[in-house]
Amino acid sequence: MTEEKSPHVLSGTFLSEEDNFRRTLLSVSDAVYLTDKERQIIFWNKACEIITGYSASEVLGRRCSDNILNHVDMEGRPLCNSDLCPLYQSITTGISSSKPMVLMALRKDKSRLAVEVSVAPLFDGEGNIEGGVEVFRDITEKQQLSEKKAQFLSSISHELKGPITIIQGFLELILSGSTGETNTLQNDFLTSAYKEGQRFQKILDDLSDLARFESTEFSFTFEPVDISELLMALNERNIGEATRKGLKIEMKVEEGIFVLGDWNRLYQAFYNIVSNAIKYTEKGRVFLSAKKLKDTVLIEIEDTGIGISDKDLPMIFEMFYRVDSEVGKKVGGTGIGLSIVEKIIQRHHGFIEVRSEPGIGSKFIIRLPILADN
Binding site for ligand ADP (CB under 6 A): 272, 276-277, 280, 303, 305-308, 316, 321-323, 328, 333-338, 362
CB 126 → ligand ADP: shortest distance, Å? Answer: 36
Q: Quick one: 323 or 368, whose CB is closer to ligand ADP? A: 323
CB 212 → ligand ADP: shortest distance, Å? Answer: 17
**DSSP per position, 275-294:** HHHHHT-SSSEEEEEEEEET
CB 372 → ligand ADP: shortest distance, Å? Answer: 32
What is the Cα–Cα distance from 96 to 81, expressed in whole angstroms? 19
CB 311 → ligand ADP: shortest distance, Å? Answer: 12
Close Cβ partners of 23 (under 8 Å, ≥ 6 residues apart): 1
CB 351 → ligand ADP: shortest distance, Å? Answer: 17
CB 357 → ligand ADP: shortest distance, Å? Answer: 10
Helix (H) or strand (E) holding 221: none
CB 153 → ligand ADP: shortest distance, Å? Answer: 17
Judging by DSSP bridges, how do beta strands 285-293 and 248-253 pair with one another? Answer: parallel
CB 319 → ligand ADP: shortest distance, Å? Answer: 8
CB 105 → ligand ADP: shortest distance, Å? Answer: 30
User: 273: exposed, middle or buried (C-beta count within 10 Å: 0-12, 13-18, 19+)?
Assistant: buried
55 and 93 Cβ atoms separated by less than 8 Å: no
Q: Quick one: 123 or 321, whose CB is closer to ligand ADP? A: 321
Q: Quick one: 220 or 280, whose CB is closer to ligand ADP? A: 280
**DSSP per position, 153-182:** HHHHHHHHHHHHHHHHHHHHHHHTTTT---
347-369-208 Cα angle (round to 5) = 20
Q: Quick one: 121 or 307, whose CB is closer to ligand ADP? A: 307
Q: Quick one: 58 or 312, whose CB is closer to ligand ADP? A: 312
Q: Quick one: 173 or 315, whose CB is closer to ligand ADP? A: 315
CB 333 → ligand ADP: shortest distance, Å? Answer: 3
Residue 97's DSSP bridge partners are: none
Q: Which residue is nearest to ligand ADP (CB)?
A: 333
Close Cβ partners of 209 (under 8 Å, ≥ 6 residues apart): 268, 336, 340
What is the Cα–Cα distance from 250 to 261, expressed in whole angstroms? 24
Q: Quick one: 104 or 299, whose CB is closer to ligand ADP? A: 299
| Residue 17 DSSP class | H
Single-letter residue type at 140: T
Q: Quick one: 187 or 275, whose CB is closer to ligand ADP? A: 275
**DSSP per position, 44-72:** E-HHHHHHH---HHHHTTSBTTTTTS--B
Q: Quick one: 130 or 206, whose CB is closer to ligand ADP? A: 206
What is the Cα–Cα distance from 286 to 166, expressed in whole angstroms? 38
Cα dihedral sign for 167, 173, 176, 180?
Answer: negative
77 φψ region: left (φ > 0), alpha (ψ -120 to 50), beta (else): beta
Q: Quick one: 327 or 372, whose CB is closer to ligand ADP? A: 327
